[in-house]
Amino acid sequence: MACGKANLAGIFRDNFITNMKKARYAILILLVLLIALTTTLFLASSFLDYNAPVNSDNIVVEGWLQACELEQIKEKCQNINELIVVGNEFQQPKNTTCRLLDYFQKQVSKEKPGKGMWLYANSTLIFNPELLTFKEAGDTSQIVVRARGTKANGRFAHFNLIVNGEFYDDSFTAGETTDYIYNVKTGNTGLKTVGVRFDNDCRLRKEDRNLFILSIKVNGRQIFANKNTSLVTTTETRFTTGFTSKGKATLNYLKALNVKAKSYRTVSFRFARENQTLAAADSFRKWIATTRLRNFNIVSGGIHSRRSLVTYEKDFGDDYNIGVINLESARYNKRNWWKSPGGWLAISDELFSYIVNRIVIK
């Protein structure tokens, strides 16, 4: 029995040593893979963050660029001939006025109504249609927006006035509360809805650009912004933005920034849940085939620039001379991206998407 126990203990010992060696090899392999992956992502950051413009005065701006990125175009792009913004189409919701009225009828706020509301991201504040003073067809309504903004990247908050679901006018705010006066011709439709859209949100390390709306005054009647009188939505549609596409909304802000070009154009495409860059390139390729343009620079942001360039180059072929102008991205810290999970996620996502577009597009 003693010999049997000794043999059994020896077997257990040998198995334990063998398993430890296997585990050690597995851990070593995993460690090597982890080091390789980490090194790849570190190298990918500088690889994806790419700038290679060609000699052309035509630029194609990606409509989804953020305000802080768009604000660099005026400095980086001089003497622009064709300025073309590519962006997805916006849907047109049905029966918006009726749906708004239904929402406010069901809205019950237990909070004490405040005077004024802050918009901390790109969004639209829509006032309750029942509170507006309706005018007879053909009359002009005076709308006064009382607002102020905070400053980031050298600029204050910017807003668009949207009347009856259509863009009417826009203004940059200041640091103090100011009245912005608009005399709106409502035509045969009359005044049905009024919205104020904040469209240039920008958050940097020590600055945060936001919009505060105290009230609107319609034909002398003041309506304070609060949860009982207004609705805030971040959803982008024709009704909430006043534009038919992201390209047109972005172009409007570029014009507000006084970005000069000999010609302004927009190209739109149906929203794609996957690979919007390819959808944009396909739509632009079909449009440009009807023109004489054969050279242009894509204006992209940060680590997305390499993917944009390879997508357009492969989709267009050799008949076009294409470059990329890379803007400093506000979406992640270029120098310290590895300190946040969001930075790792952004690099991983862009690298994977770049490889997919490099392989898939013929």
**127 and 141 in contact (C-beta within 8 Å)?**
no
**Is a pLDDT exceeding 70 seen at residue 290?**
yes
Domains and CATH numbers, the chain: 47-89+245-360 (3.40.50), 96-241 (2.60.60.40)
**261 and 78 in contact (C-beta within 8 Å)?**
no
Amino acid at site 301: G
Nearest-CA neighbor of 184 among 132, 247, 142? 142
pLDDT in tens, 128-154: 998 886 655 557 889 999 999 999 999
d(CA 24, CA 30): 10
DSSP code of 164? T
pLDDT at 259: 97
Percent of the chain with pLDDT over 90: 60
pLDDT at 38: 61
d(CA 114, CA 9): 78
More confident call, 236 vs 1: 236
Least confident of 45-49, 70-74, 108-112, 302-306: 108-112
Return the C-alpha torsion angle 281, 282, 286, 292, nearest 10: 30
**Is a pLDDT exceeding 70 seen at residue 15?**
no
pLDDT at 134: 60
pLDDT in tens, 239-271: 999 999 999 999 999 999 999 999 999 999 998
More confident call, 135 vs 29: 29
d(CA 256, CA 70): 11
pLDDT at 25: 64
Q: Residue 3: helix, strand or coil by DSSP?
A: helix
End-to-end CA distance of the chain: 73
Band (9; pLDDT cuts 50, 70, 90)? low
Question: What percent helix, strand, coil does the chain show, rounded to 5?
Answer: 40, 30, 30
pLDDT at 187: 77
Cα 237 to its chain centre, rounded Å, is 14
pLDDT at 32: 59
Least confident of 12-16, 99-103, 118-122: 12-16
The CA distances from residue 107 to 78, 104, 113, 158, in Å, are: 50, 5, 13, 29
pLDDT at 106: 75
Please, what sign has the CA dihedral across residues 316, 320, 321, 325?
A: negative
Exposed e or buried b per residue across 242-274, where buried means at least 16 C-beta atoms within 10 angstroms of its C-beta: bbbbbbbbbbbbbebbebebeebebbbbeeeee
pLDDT in tens, 184-220: 988 777 889 999 999 999 998 889 999 999 999 999 9
Q: Residue 263: helix, strand or coil by DSSP?
A: strand
pLDDT in tens, 79-118: 999 999 999 999 988 888 888 888 887 776 655 667 899 9
**268 and 293 in contact (C-beta within 8 Å)?**
no
Least confident of 205-209, 271-275, 280-284: 271-275
pLDDT at 349: 86
d(CA 350, CA 305): 10
pLDDT in tens, 30-67: 665 656 556 655 666 778 899 999 999 999 999 999 99
Q: What is the mean pLDDT of residues 165-187?
A: 95
Nearest-CA neighbor of 152 among 216, 206, 215? 206
pTM metric for this prediction: 0.86
Least confident of 135-144, 165-174, 274-283: 135-144
